[in-house]
Chains A and B, each alone.
Chain A
Amino acid sequence: MALLRRFLRHPGAVVGAAVLLLVLAVAILAPVLFPGSPWDMAGPPFAPPGEDGMLLGSDSLGRNVAAGIAYGARVSLLVGAVSTAVAILIGVALGALAGYLGGVVDDAVMRFTEFFQTIPSFVLAILLVAIFTPSITSIVAAIAIVSWPPVARVVRAEFLSLRGREFVQAAEVLGKRPMAIVLTDILPNALSPIIVLASLNTASAILLESSLSFLGLGDPNLMSWGFLIGSGRSVIRIAWWMSVFPGIAIFITVLALNLVGEGLSDAMNPRLRKRGAK
């Protein structure tokens, strides 16, 4: 409860959370708000915003831009959440392994992590999605593969500092199995930085997904924000609304997630407030 109160003290975080709920509501209610497929023609092509009953205008094939954005929210939130979950899973597993076992294992895992942090992650993501053909699965996998390293580093650092504490030693003396110690003693205490990372990572995953689909690497069966901007790019001189509104949708969602992440970070580590950034 104290946590919630500290979180609520952040105006930015509260606004962020509200916006996020709104985006989530639009995503869930997309079929109600815009019945029918977002790929179908809804009116004349290139209708400016507000005309022909389309709030945000229509695209070159007469499709409703607002409907595209609503359905795109589903893809963006889904990809953001699932790829973050996978990235957290990989990161926690590797970080826990390195931090708890230490020694050679730690060395090996950290070299592996460093390698993934060195290579240009966006280029790797493009390569992965292109080779395994664009689909929601390959996109989620590619984003998870390039975004787990920071999680592994943070979890490792937490485990390194926690494994020497008395309560862990006590559990060891009591003969608890290492796996049980890791899962029930150490991990719950390392949770707060993981939660903060998760919200920030969801934000960057959404950005990454939009970049991929902008380049034409989106799932061909799913409407997405990046795809909308990509298809509006060549006609930006005559139909600015096609690329402006989906971009605003991405901006608002990502900003909201970042604000929530910062609010969570401050609420969970009041002592670290001043450090900010990164």
Chain B
Amino acid sequence: MSRLPGFLLRRALKSVVVILAIVVCNFLLIHAAPGDPAMVMAGQSGSADPQYMEQLRRQFGLDRPLIEQLWIYLKGVLHLDLGFSHRQQVGVAQLILDRLPATLLLTGMAFAIAISGGVTLGALAARRVGTWADSVITVIALAFYATPLFWVGLMLVLLFSVHLEWLPSFGMTDPGLNQEGFALWLDVAKHLVLPAVTLGLFYLAVYARLTRATMLEVADQDFVKTARAKGVPEGRVLRAHVLRNALLPVITFAGIQAGQLVGGSILVETVFAWPGIGRLAFEALLARDYQVLMGVFFITSVMVVLFNLLTDLLYALIDPRVEMA
């Protein structure tokens, strides 16, 4: 434990470097794009009035040397100034901040579904390896692996909203009702089911396959044979010895996958009109509002970096050996 702060410090430093690299990446993208950067930022669908262009030129210092421009841009981002959305007449940071809770709720729920369902199914498949239950779980995992996220969403809408009329397919709350307290929560929960399941199913398949594979790998190791040899009941061997050790790679992988989950939420939020930053990105895409799009890229990257840091911390606490890694 004594070396833990050093380990975390190194990781935190690395995260800062990654975030800086992303800012530079954003900056280079604006300049690599064809045409005048101010023109690119203003968008191509006609809103490029001279006043706004002037404002953009000032903001990015476009008349100065490139390296100085980078410095101006970096300073802005460090002050959480992610630019201004001319279309919505609001700062990009404010726009994203308003939408963030909805996305966190959706991705958090989807993650919970994916990890609990995936580990359960994976463990079940590994326990019954070679039987029909194993085959069914493997096939389902393979199928979800091959299905586009947005299409799963649409099919769920078709089944549960259009056909069965059980669940709402649109938005986060019912706009017709002005609810408060518990009723509001219930309404949000009802609206959350389909998007969260859609986003969660794909990762559920990923975690199920991974859990199954690592459990089969761990089951071959000596300490498991020892446990069996000394007469530990089979269920306990699987739970306490195999599953516990198989979970570590799953956690690491989940940490790495966080970025994909956030990316997937753009598709899911678009399908279900869920008012999060994914939907914001889609709206920005339609309006060619690149400042907002870059802001979303920056924020999602920061979210992923923070999540990775959290995974590292968790991992270091669970398994002291990882410090060396």
Contacts and interface: CB of A to CB of B under 8 A. Distances in A.
A130 interface: yes
The interface centre, meaning the residue of B154, B162, B300 with most chain A CB atoms within 10 A of its CB, is B154
A188 interface: no
B290 A119 contact: no
A207 B301 CA distance: 22
A184 interface: no
Nearest to A146: B263
Contact of B22 (A119, A121, A128, A226): A119
Contact of A118 (B264, B266, B301): B301
Contact of A120 (B213, B259, B267): B259
A275 interface: yes
Contact of B266 (A126, A133, A247, A276): A126
A189 B162 CA distance: 54
Interface stretch (A47-55, A57-65, A233-241): A233-241
B308 interface: yes
A124 B30 CA distance: 13
A247 B301 contact: no
B191 interface: no
B29 A131 contact: yes
B260 A122 contact: yes
Interface residues of A, number: 44
Contacts of A122: 260, 263-264, 266-267
Given A210-B148, A250-B151, A276-B209, A127 B294 contact: yes
B27 interface: no
Interface in B203-224: 209-210, 212-213, 216-217
Nearest to B29: A131
B62 to A, nearest CB: 16
Contacts of B281: 123, 126
A241 B304 CA distance: 37
A265 B22 CA distance: 35
Nearest to A243: B154
Contact of B259 (A118, A255, A275): A118
Given A210-B148, A278-B210, 16 more contacts: A118-B304, A120-B263, A120-B297, A121-B260, A122-B266, A122-B267, A130-B290, A131-B32, A132-B34, A133-B44, A211-B150, A237-B162, A244-B155, A244-B158, A250-B147, A254-B146
Interface of A: 115, 117-124, 126-128, 130-133, 203, 207, 210-211, 214-217, 226, 229, 233, 236-237, 240, 243-244, 247, 250-251, 254-255, 258-259, 274-278
